[in-house]
A and B are shown apart, each in its own frame.
Chain A
Amino acid sequence: MATRKFTPIEQEAIAAAVAEGLAIQHKFRPEPLYKLTGKGYLKSDGVAELQKIKEQSGGKKVAR
């Protein structure tokens, strides 16, 4: 699969997506289950992570 050069903005977006993808990779199965079965797979992290974020933020608005 040939790839072309990316603009700096594209490179940044791709790097952000790769970082995100690596962070959530443990929740996915590698094989194309969604295509094969019509149902995807995603491992749940439970409520612990949300609780942690709530504690850290104190419910403040996020600055963009």
Chain B
Amino acid sequence: MAWPSYKKSKSNPVARKWLANVPWDGVVAINEQLCAAKNALHKATSDGFDPAYKLWSDNYARQMELDEAVEICRRCHKLAPFCFFNGNTFAAIIRSSIGSVIELDTSESYMLRNVVGHIVAGTSTSEEEEQFKTLLSKLN
């Protein structure tokens, strides 16, 4: 598993370095490969790249709770650092970081990754956000 091991503490049981193995250059490389797969232009945007870079670089390496990691991915998606395929770049990062979660059964793990994908994509409903909170409480 490429992601940091589960660090459980009494105060913050699901805190983990969720994004630590994807530095900004890794985000760029992911978008480059996703664009290449669809013959789309891989290029930085003039207004979104720098703020997304700063947001990511200031935060990705630290331990955080899952909802904060999801929010960073959502905000980076919304900032649109790249011309194309921002959505699946950041949704893929958080979905793959979650991987299989030991506290949830298969369908719940699937739901978690699905809901997280919807939140990062900017399409989540209030019901899905409630579902996310419920799933987080099961992790706790």
Contacts and interface: CB of A to CB of B under 8 A. Distances in A.
Interface of A: 1-4, 6, 9-10, 12-22, 24-25, 27-35, 38-42, 50, 53-54, 56-57, 59-64
Interface string B1-19: 1110010000000000000
A63 B107 contact: no
A46 to B, nearest CB: 12
B117 A42 contact: yes
Interface in B88-140: 88-89, 91-93, 95-97, 99-102, 104-107, 109-111, 114, 117-118, 121-123
Contact of A61 (B25, B91, B102, B123): B102
A62 B96 contact: no
Contact of A10 (B22, B28, B82, B87): B22
Interface residues of B: mostly helix, strand, loop or mixed? helix
5 contacts: A3-B25, A18-B30, A32-B83, A32-B86, A59-B107
Contact of A35 (B25, B48, B93): B48
Contacts of A15: 2
Contact of B88 (A25, A31, A32): A25
Contacts of A3: 25, 28-29
